[in-house]
Structure 1
């Protein structure tokens, strides 16, 4: 779902993806927003933060709030004539390179995807009975860094057992190896795993960061799940104050959502913003991810988004 907010001749764009896992559909988001459309249009936009506080009082899903918050941030930056990362006083001369996701499939298909897009960092989706063997086979075809996303498929003992083998195979960290509610297991993994662990499904909103601090090595923030750039920035600050590594991930957004994520990368340790790269057809122009992960930021203010 794409949202646009217009003011003084400038248009800001935001996005949220429907997600059956969280019970969010295009129709539910559309209904939520239409219900308060008049209030949104009458809102006096001074800052994105004030707009987000207003949205938070309206009983919207975080997904709908995200789309509106991204649009407000893009609009605000365009009105100010500066990219968001500059308004936030961050330096984009250095930033983490996005990984490229290899979904679960046969070994042949996974290898073919890697060969189709040679990349310095791959995120390998796992959750089978032969996960270590899969990584071992993939390693034969690339020297790239691997990150493993087990999608809640393992238990604590499996994770601790797999970790040394995966580390030897060039895996950098494990993302959400256990079910989101298995806090006892994650505590055990944190104490005994030789690889760092990054929370995903266990870290959805701002209030989750505190608990993750004693159960994970870092957190993966999804804008759609937490409610946009405004809460994500607070989550980054909180996580860093606790000594956690910080990653921002995507949910196969178009360049609308990816350009918003890109504004945060000077503040991150890791980033997963390959969503638009995985689409057959994109719908917008904005931040460009070039060869070997180099990010080209548009001169246009905000997140730099224009719809095609």
Structure 2
């Protein structure tokens, strides 16, 4: 098996803003595993938000290169267990785990979701995200993707309710809001009471991480469900979210890939939590990996590649919120290039 790494810059259609930062170009690392005629791909994106550089995500893979290339992927979960002892961050592990699943499925001639024993007859609808901007630009971004059944609106500004009211005048779609840790408990409870009548389905991560007592109060008093994102990074976080959130949003890059994500979903079900999977701003490589989880999810955010001006792969598509699974096996990725292989 051969390990090939591709460094890519992913320019966005429009700058994408959250309460934390605004991004115009997303840097990403694509992991490719070659095994004869088969090639598997995985992605690590969004690492700069967590204070990591591309070099810091790449270095553990380079350090473990000989071990990776000498291994054999008979079961991606077993491979993940071996690699998790060698790699120092979840982003490197996520990209490698995605590539391992893609390669595994391509070698066996089946999509990953089917190899897991799942069916794809009923898949959740994806939202489309509207980043923080002027109200006029947020309306323009929404109208650029008009007809979408669900929009996720990034909030955390002094004028959040007015922003949602303005957007509501231009769409009758379902709204979800993501405060990205930008509110206090009092704001969350007060805002929920005003957002419900505006057609908002739920609120994602209203409070800063670690405010568990406040978050439990929001869970009790909020008129809308609250979903954990930044508060649910890894498997150990899921059980802690029970009683503080109504559901969890699982990000592959944060937890380390598909292997731990499946365990997190199972644990969330045991805890009575709804399950969402979300994405970073990333290419179709990462989006196609997330999509393998679709039959297990209540909600999904698969719009990361739609935010790009230029993609580096084909695979899972999202058309007016509906995921379209490709005929290709594995995670369904076909590499288009535009990276710097090493």
Structure 1 length as normaliser, TM-score?
A: 0.98
Question: In the aligned structure 2, how far is the partner of 1:59 from the partner of 1:107?
Answer: 43
* Structure 2 residue aligned with 1:295: 323
| TM-superposed deviation, 1:24 | 1.7
* Structure 2 residue aligned with 1:4: 32
Matched, 1:113 2:145: no
Give the SS at the match of 2:235: coil
Query: Which has the larger strand fraction?
Result: 2
8 Å CA contact 2:283, 2:312 repeated in 1:
yes
Indicate which of 131, 147, 151 corresponds to 1:103. Answer: 131
Indicate which of 88, 107, 126 corresponds to 1:60. Answer: 88
1:199-210 alignment to 2 at 5 Å? 199-210=228-239
Give the SS at the match of 2:276: strand
8 Å CA contact 2:46, 2:281 repeated in 1:
no
* Structure 2 residue aligned with 1:14: 42
Indicate which of 31, 40, 54 corresponds to 1:26. Answer: 54
Question: In the aligned structure 2, how far is the partner of 1:199 from the partner of 1:167?
Answer: 18
Alignment RMSD: 0.9
| TM-superposed deviation, 1:101 | 0.4
Structure 2 length as normaliser, TM-score?
A: 0.88
* Structure 1 residue aligned with 2:4: none
Question: In the aligned structure 2, how far is the partner of 1:286 from the partner of 1:20?
Answer: 25
* Structure 2 residue aligned with 1:85: 113
| TM-superposed deviation, 1:181 | 1.1
Matched, 1:215 2:244: yes
Q: Deviations over 1:172-227 (max 9, x none)?
A: 00000000111111000001001000000000000000101121000000000000
8 Å CA contact 2:105, 2:330 repeated in 1:
yes
| TM-superposed deviation, 1:91 | 1.3
8 Å CA contact 2:126, 2:323 repeated in 1:
no
Give the SS at the match of 1:207: helix
Query: Which has the larger helix fraction?
Result: 1
Where structure 1 has 5 or more consecutive residues not aligned to the other structure, the ranges are: none
Question: In the aligned structure 2, how far is the partner of 1:296 from the partner of 1:168?
Answer: 32
Post-superposition, which runs of at least 4 consecutive aligned residues in structure 1 deviate over 3 A?
Answer: none
| TM-superposed deviation, 1:59 | 4.0
* Structure 1 residue aligned with 2:302: 273
8 Å CA contact 2:153, 2:178 repeated in 1:
yes
Question: In the aligned structure 1, how far is the partner of 2:324 from the partner of 2:188?
Answer: 37
| TM-superposed deviation, 1:253 | 1.1
8 Å CA contact 1:4, 1:11 repeated in 2:
yes
8 Å CA contact 1:24, 1:63 repeated in 2:
no
Question: In the aligned structure 2, how far is the partner of 1:190 from the partner of 1:296?
Answer: 34
Question: In the aligned structure 1, how far is the partner of 2:326 from the partner of 2:290?
Answer: 14
Q: How many residues align?
A: 307
Question: In the aligned structure 2, how far is the partner of 1:231 from the partner of 1:44?
Answer: 19
Q: Give the direction of change, closer, same or farther, for the CA distance of 1:18–1:170 in structure 2 (3 Å limit).
A: closer
Question: In the aligned structure 1, how far is the partner of 2:252 from the partner of 2:72?
Answer: 24
* Structure 2 residue aligned with 1:43: 71
* Structure 2 residue aligned with 1:155: 184
Matched, 1:239 2:268: yes
Question: In the aligned structure 1, how far is the partner of 2:282 from the partner of 2:203?
Answer: 23
| TM-superposed deviation, 1:18 | 4.2
